[in-house]
Amino acid sequence: MKYQNKQINLKIDGHLYEKLKEYAKDEGKSVQHILTESLVSMMARKQEPVYKDGKFTFIDLFAGIGGMRIAFTKQGGICVFSSEWDKYAQKTYFDNFDVMPQGDITKINAQEVPDHDILVAGFPCQPFSIAGVSKKNSLGRATGFQDKTQGTLFFDVCRILEAKRPKAFLLENVKNLKSHDHGNTWRVIQESLNQLDYEIFPQIIDGQGFVPQHRERIFIAGFDRRRYGNLYDFQFDVDNQKPEKKPVLRDILEPEVNEKYTLSDKLWTFLQNYAAKHKAKGNGFGYGMPELDGVTRTLSARYYKDGSEILINQGKDKNPRRLTPRECARLQGYPDSFKITVSDTRAYKQFGNSVVVPLVTAIAGKIVEKVEELDKKAERGDDSDGTHKLQQTGH
């Protein structure tokens, strides 16, 4: 379902209108754009609805279109706060959850974030500057996580962890996070979370088996050492939660598809020539056309450009086609009830940036299970092997 733009008549004071036009000109935007942004900002200040029947509370940072929210809600969680800066993702989020995520996380006061049990974030991977850290070390000055992560969006995760101290968190990122910037990014992430007194457990997991897509991502689960100490282990162990019948590509295909998704002769010729050129050089670059009873390559945010990583064979007498936005949603494990209310281009970007919902649902279940186990042990004052210890707490 796609909503059409609506027109409203708005009467405002003449002096205010002139000021509004002047402001819009200074910002390089239209008056309509300014008014729309103002309405979105106002709606973003609306608090998440509070329910009392949840097992736990969580916040959804870098929320995208809400894949992580769906996952943790399915495990009995209540979302009490969400943040997403992209206005098109905000629209999709609002259209599905009736809540407008707050915007730029760098401008959000951590103390104003509601208390919560679990922090959830699919944070972007950015370079971490270590020049300042090295300089301080050479001067013999101590550095904390803020010094190391300042200027990156990971810092915003850290400052909320420091301010609100949730029991646990789940972070998600691209597979090569550990090798990013020659390993410096991963080192800073580990050191920062360790200095914040969180015990972390990272693992790269493939979404294949939950959906018909090869999609490896790193997941980082963390638990508050001030509450629970560190005499325990955590295993993601989600394989036994995969469906008995392995999902394959044909499972997610729509029976009838608009001709607009079929590649033009020009684009199809280009992709074939491009693939042949790289094959001759010994490279593996080229389009992907998986078997209908197989799995696809990783869906990316650039899928809207040509769809080359996942093409659907339509027989020898017809050019292949790209996936529809609904098929992309299914490929990521979104239910058909999930509303797609943006253009195809925006939808492709959004689903390409999203998570495999059933995989994250399985991980969420494991984290909730571990938190409940650790809470019981903390109440008894027991460590992992049942002996008494001095309870550690940050409160």
Q: Which residues are known catalytic residues?
A: 125
Q: Identify the helix (H) or strand (E) that includes residue 37.
A: helix 31-44
As beta bridge partners, residue 200 has 222
Cβ burial of 88 (10 Å; 0-12, 13-18, 19+) is: middle
Residue with tokens 């969420």: 364
Q: What are phi and psi of 221, to 5 degrees?
A: -95, 140
Torsion sign, CA atoms 263, 264, 267, 269: positive
CB-based contacts of 364: which residues, under 8 Å, 6+ apart? Answer: 71, 72, 74, 75, 77, 170
Q: What whole-number distance in Å separates Cα of residue 198 and Cα of residue 141?
A: 23
> Quick one: which of 227, 204, 230 has its CA closest to 363?
204
Tokens read off for 84: 């997403």
Q: What whole-number distance in Å separates Cα of residue 242 and Cα of residue 212?
A: 12
Q: How many CB atoms lie within 10 A of CB 95?
A: 17
As beta bridge partners, residue 120 has 60, 170
Give yes or no for a contact between 346 and 301, defined as CB atoms under 8 angstroms apart.
no
As beta bridge partners, residue 57 has 78
